[in-house]
Amino acid sequence: MTIPFNRPFCDERELNYIADALRSYKLCGDGQFTAKCHRWLETVTGSKRALLTSSGTAALDMIALLLDLKPGDEVIMPSFTFSSTANAVVLRGAVPVFIDIRNDTQNMDENLIEAAITDRTRAIMVVHYAGVACEMDTILAIAAKHNLPVVEDAAHALNATYKGKQLGTIGSMSALSFHETKNIACGEGGALLINDSSLIARAEIIREKGTNRSQFYRGEIDKYTWVDIGSSYLPGELQAACLLAQFEKEPEIYDARVKIWNFYHEKMRPLEARGLLTRPIVPAGCVQNGHMYYVLLSSGEERDSFIQFMGKKGIKCPFHYIPLHDSPAGRQHSRAHGDMANTFDISERLVRFPLWVGLTDEQLELITDSIEEFFSTQTAESTKEKLAVTRNGSM
Ligand SMILES: *Cc1c(COP(=O)(O)O)cnc(C)c1O
């Protein structure tokens, strides 16, 4: 038996909606399904405007365009993130400036932002790791003091909150992802949430190949034309049909994921108490969304042998994020501000557990039993080693 790390929760509803989209012969973007998805996102998050995109990456690319980044401009962000966060900035000729993360939430350390600001800084890009919010009050205060926009990579964070506010609605804009590995999935897909209404008109144009076609469709103008730079960032209706089905199941998906997260968290409590691992921390004021369950092991070697041990049991437990500042493209296109000690350390020791709707109780028991077995063999081995040392020492 193999337990995958992730499996999207699809059933008849997705099939039916996709069939409806096909039968309507309206397959390009911005049809009925897309409109319903926009409404759902705006209602659930409270964002002023939601625009579906072909991926989370596409939404990040749109953010970089909407920030009007120019060559040499800088954007402060964590190095412990996916390549897309940095790529969007680099594609504009601008420079990601990486700062270290906190060693509790694995989010950007808000206390390091101010020292990284230069006269080229144009924005602060936060990433809410595992759907746990960055320390937004402090970050917004620093941004206001320096007159900088805050933008959010909220790819992990749909329906997670910070002091009651939905993540993705706190900065001026944010990117959501509906990639197969995210809570809500349509294969490849994403959304741009716009909270600063002065950006809405330009966002619509950038998304529609630099044309004012959206205004034309609404009957606001009588012909449309090329008015700005842009590209094709909108998904087709088949993608949107799948996504609408997922949105309608979102409360069920959320509950099921949080339940699994809580199960792991309880099961890991005694292991943490014995000093064998560290569980994730959700600070007061933050509500997470069951996107990811991870633990920190005591060393990179132990983490690697854990992944191997679980793999032999047929259980996929991946690591996460090789620090971007230390990657081949990162070394070429970005710079790190200050010491990246936590980023390196966490990247070595973090491991994620399978988390998806449909994991059975038996599978969950097998996973947690295997984790316990790993530590009992580890302990047995280190006891053996200690005994061996003692014996050698006494010889
Ligand atoms: C998944 C992810 C992205 C990219 O989203 P895609 O939809 O795969 O393009 C960006 N940033 C983070 C933090 C992600 O996890």
The distance of Cα 111 from the centroid of its chain, to the nearest Å, equals 22
224 φ, ψ to 5°? Answer: -115, 155
- Residue 389 is predicted with a pLDDT of 52
Amino acid identity for residue 58 in this structure: A
Confidence at 2, pLDDT banded by 50, 70, 90: very high
Residues 6 or more apart from 35 whose CB is under 8 A from it?
Answer: none
Nearest CA to ligand 1 atom 8: 179
**Ligand 1 pocket mutation, candidates 63, 84, 129, 291, criterion most atoms within 8 A of CB:** 84
Average pLDDT over residues 158-173: 98
**Percent of the chain whose predicted confidence (pLDDT) is above 70:** 95
152 φ, ψ to 5°? Answer: -120, 125
- Residue 1 is predicted with a pLDDT of 65
Q: Which two tokens stand for residue 236?
A: 């087709």
Confidence at 387, pLDDT banded by 50, 70, 90: low
Mean pLDDT over each residue of the chain, to the nearest integer: 95
**Ligand 1 pocket mutation, candidates 57, 289, 322, criterion most atoms within 8 A of CB:** 57
| Cβ of 352 less than 6 Å from ligand 1 | no
pLDDT above 60 (res 161)? yes
| Cβ of 291 less than 6 Å from ligand 1 | no
Residues 6 or more apart from 43 whose CB is under 8 A from it?
Answer: none
pLDDT above 50 (res 393)? no
Nearest CA to ligand 1 atom 14: 155
| Cβ of 177 less than 6 Å from ligand 1 | yes
C-alpha dist (Å) from residue 81 to 98, 128, 218, 315, 320: 10, 9, 38, 24, 9
> Tens of pLDDT along 60-81?
999 999 999 999 999 999 999 9
pLDDT above 80 (res 50)? yes
Distance (Å, whole) CA 30 – CA 52:
9
| Cβ of 156 less than 6 Å from ligand 1 | yes
Distance (Å, whole) CA 41 – CA 43:
5
**Percent of the chain whose predicted confidence (pLDDT) is above 90:** 94
Average pLDDT over residues 214-222: 92
How far the first Cα of the chain sits from its last, in Å, is 47
Confidence at 377, pLDDT banded by 50, 70, 90: confident
pLDDT above 50 (res 394)? no
Confidence at 378, pLDDT banded by 50, 70, 90: confident
**pTM beyond cutoff 0.85:** yes
The radius of gyration of the chain's CA atoms, rounded to the nearest angstrom, is 23
Nearest CA to ligand 1 atom 5: 56
Average pLDDT over residues 368-392: 74
Q: CA angle 18-191-243, nearest 5°? A: 20
Distance 84 CA to ligand 1 centre (A): 6
| Cβ of 84 less than 6 Å from ligand 1 | yes
Q: DSSP for 157-189, please give it.
A: -TT-EETTEETTSSSSEEEEE--TTSSS--SS-
